[in-house]
């Protein structure tokens, strides 16, 4: 036997197994992903709602200015011809669009059939109904807002209406003349203008309805 020879020992080699996730670890990872997704969606929703509110307030102020221009031009505020006209916007949710249709025509000059008591008076014949565009000297002369962004109006069914940042119709009621024995129809002595804004519950209420329950209009953007 060779004295320089040392016997070697054979070592058993076992394949290294990759360590997988345990059930608890998987649940923790899923929970973290769910929380991050919720935070992301929550931030997105918050930003979108803020943008809609900002758009609504900007449009709101523009409409108020246009109404004062209308008063200066014609000596009175416009009055809706179909004050109680209802249109379904989403399944089971209808909105009053009479005021919004009146506002659209009053500020854009596009038609006049939604304006109570208004008739064509120009030499050039004007179309009584709206068509989404301005044409003819009479329509052009009645424009209260020179530029009406597409975010401010939409066509719903057969009606062209003025909308808020939530793509819902603005609400508008002209004050009735104060006469003895008549109940007021508005809070203001001129007109009531509002957007339901974030509110999706009290969409059937009018401004005058909120006098006894002001909390119903707490989410609205309004002029009272």
Instruction: List the chain domain ranges.
Output: 30-174
Which is higher by pLDDT, 35 or 120? 35
Instruction: Choose the weakest-confidence range: 42-46, 84-88, 181-185.
Output: 42-46
Tell whether the torsion through CA atoms of 210, 195, 169 and 171 is positive or negative: positive
- Per-residue pLDDT, 34: 77
- Angle at alpha carbon of residue 99, lines to 96 and 103, rounded to 5°: 140
* Mean pLDDT score across all residues of the chain: 85
**Residue pLDDT, tens place only, 167-185:** 999 999 999 987 756 788 9
| 201 burial type by CB count under 10 A (0-12 exposed, 13-18 middle, 19+ buried) | exposed
Please say if the pLDDT value at position 144 is more than 70: yes
Phi then psi dihedrals of residue 100, to 5 deg = -65, -35
167/179 Cα distance (integer angstroms): 36
User: Rounded distance, CA 215 to CA 16, Å?
Assistant: 68
Question: What's the mean pLDDT in 97-124?
Answer: 86
- pLDDT value for 4: 57
> What tokens appear for 180 in the block?
């003895």
- Predicted confidence at residue 122, as pLDDT, reads 54
pLDDT on residue 123: 44
pLDDT of 129 above 70: yes
User: Whole-model pTM above 0.85?
Assistant: no
């Amino acid at each position: 036997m060779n004295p320089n020879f040392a016997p070697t020992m054979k070592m058993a080699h076992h394949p290294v197994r990759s360590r997988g996730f345990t059930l608890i670890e998987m649940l923790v990872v899923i929970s973290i992903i769910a929380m991050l997704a919720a935070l992301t969606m929550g931030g997105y929703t918050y930003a979108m709602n803020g943008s809609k509110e900002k758009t609504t307030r900007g449009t709101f102020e523009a409409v108020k200015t246009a109404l004062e221009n209308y008063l200066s031009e014609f000596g009175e505020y416009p009055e809706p011809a179909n004050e109680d006209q209802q249109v379904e916007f989403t399944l089971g949710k209808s909105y009053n669009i009479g005021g919004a249709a009146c506002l659209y025509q009053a500020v854009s000059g596009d038609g006049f059939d939604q304006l109570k008591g208004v008739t064509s008076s120009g030499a050039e014949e004007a179309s009584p109904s709206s068509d989404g565009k301005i044409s003819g000297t009479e329509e052009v002369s009645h424009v209260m807002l020179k530029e009406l962004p597409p975010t401010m109006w939409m066509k719903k069914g057969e009606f062209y209406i003025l909308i808020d940042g939530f793509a819902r119709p603005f609400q508008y009621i002209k004050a009735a003349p104060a006469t003895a024995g008549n109940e007021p129809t508005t809070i203001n002595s001129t007109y009531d203008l509002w957007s339901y804004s974030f509110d999706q519950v009290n969409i059937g209420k009018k401004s005058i309805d909120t006098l006894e329950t002001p909390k119903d209009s707490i989410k609205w953007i309004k002029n009272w």
